[in-house]
Amino acid sequence: MQSPTSSASAVLVIDDDPALLDSFATVLGTYGIPTTTARDGREGLAAFRRVSPAVVLTDIVMPERDGLETIMAMRRERPAAKIIAMSGGGLIGKSEYLAIAKQLGADAVIHKPFDVDELVKLIRTFLHASTSRLVRA
């Protein structure tokens, strides 16, 4: 896990699968996208507050604090944050989790497994929108 000690991270990835977190950090790094990772919603919310990422990519089904709770907390604290929810399923189907995530404030949703190029394109779109908003302010 990358240490979230500065505000340089453009993307915060939250997932309880350590191998997936490592993959995200590696892949996004190859695209030049600074990334911070967190293992669950509780750790993710703390990192969100520390590094103030432009984009959050969060799993839904996690221990400690699930993705739905995490999305709601992030929306309350920083309504302009761009949030992408992802799910591979759980007790209910992944489509239902993602529909709920969208209702709770996720800007986009993706199903696991997903196409990495499409995910990177989506993240870059959100990063560009975030940068454009800062330039105009």
- Does residue 134 or residue 123 have the better pLDDT? 123
Please state the φ and ψ torsions of residue 54, each to the nearest 5 degrees: -75, -35
Is the separation of the CB atoms in 16 and 63 below 8 Å? yes
Q: What is the pLDDT of residues 50-79, one digit of tens each?
A: 999 999 999 998 988 999 999 999 999 999
As a CATH number, domain 11-132 is: 3.40.50.2300
- The per-residue pLDDT for 9 is 75
pTM equals 0.85
Q: Which CA distances in Å does 61 have to 2, 46, 67, 89, 92?
A: 22, 18, 6, 8, 10
- The per-residue pLDDT for 114 is 85
Residue 78: closest CA among 12, 8, 5, 1:
12
What is the rounded average pLDDT of the residues 123-132?
82
What is the rounded average pLDDT of the residues 112-131?
88
Confidence of residue 46 (pLDDT cuts 50, 70, 90): very high
The residues, any chain, with a CB within 8 Å of residue 77's CB and separated by 6 or more, are 48, 49
Mean confidence (pLDDT) of the chain:
86
CB count within 10 Å of CB 132 equals 10
